[in-house]
Chains A and B, each alone.
Chain A
Amino acid sequence: NAGVTQTPKFQVLKTGQSMTLQCAQDMNHEYMSWYRQDPGMGLRLIHYSVGAGITDQGEVPNGYNVSRSTTEDFPLRLLSAAPSQTSVYFCASRGLTGGPNSNQPQHFGDGTRLSIL
């Protein structure tokens, strides 16, 4: 069981560069989300999706784009990297609230450690 797979695990970028963080899940979960984790601040929601073709903003969406063309994949794009985006990024998935998978816990990937110079 692969669960939630994130790539790459580590990345260093220069200010102004763009890149895409990949996330894939094999559990047929409707809900997928991206978080960033910074020291002392817990996890903050960037964007989320309740199904293919549907995305919405979380707490800290500025500077990030997402798309959901399939149930399995939910990539996160940094359009023009800034040092403030240095963080650890986690992708997660779960069944939708009230749906058949809703009593299942949220599953997390192992994270992508991103440094912007």
Chain B
Amino acid sequence: KQEVTQIPAALSVPEGENLVLNCSFTDSAIYNLQWFRQDPGKGLTSLLLIQSSQREQTSGRLNASLDKSSGRSTLYIAASQPGDSATYLCAVSNNDMRFGAGTRLTVKP
């Protein structure tokens, strides 16, 4: 059974800092990995999707990497802003999608 773990569970940083969120999974037989953002009381917004054959994806200040053999992914956020405050979830897909519990990020002005 696929298990997805995200560390840390919560993170608080001052504005402008670069930061890394971690995601690990137990079964490397995945098709893709996706990072989502969730604001309080809202649904999930897709940030980046990495296919199993890819090593990383970038969108603006966000960079996600994937090391399938070691079962790890990282989400790098550059020059963090208060608007980045949210919960970040990673999810791995094969025939279904399994989620981590998320990292709650607070960026202080």
A residues contacting B by CB (< 8 A) are 33, 35, 40-45, 48, 50, 58, 90, 92, 97-98, 102-111
B residues contacting A by CB (< 8 A) are 4, 31-32, 34, 36, 42-46, 49, 51, 89, 91, 93-102
Query: Who on chain B is nearest to A58 by CB?
Result: B96
Query: Who on chain A is nearest to B89 by CB?
Result: A42
> Are A43 and B94 interface neighbours, CB within 8 A?
no
Q: Which 7 A-B pairs have the closest CB atoms?
A: A105-B46, A42-B101, A43-B99, A108-B44, A42-B99, A110-B43, A105-B49
Query: Which B residues are CB-close (under 8 A) to A107?
Result: 46
Query: Which B residues are CB-close (under 8 A) to A103?
Result: 49, 51
Query: Which A residues are CB-close (under 8 A) to B45?
Result: 108
Nearest CB in chain B: distance from A86 CB, A: 16
> Are B97 and A106 interface neighbours, CB within 8 A?
yes
> Are B43 and A45 interface neighbours, CB within 8 A?
no
Question: Contacting B96 at CB < 8 Å: which of A33, A90, A98?
Answer: A33
Q: Given A42-B100, A42-B101, A103-B49, do A109 and B93 touch, yes or no (CB 8 Å)? A: no
Query: Which B residues are CB-close (under 8 A) to A111?
Result: 42-43
> Which of B34, B42, B43 has the most chain A CB atoms inside 10 A of its CB?
B43
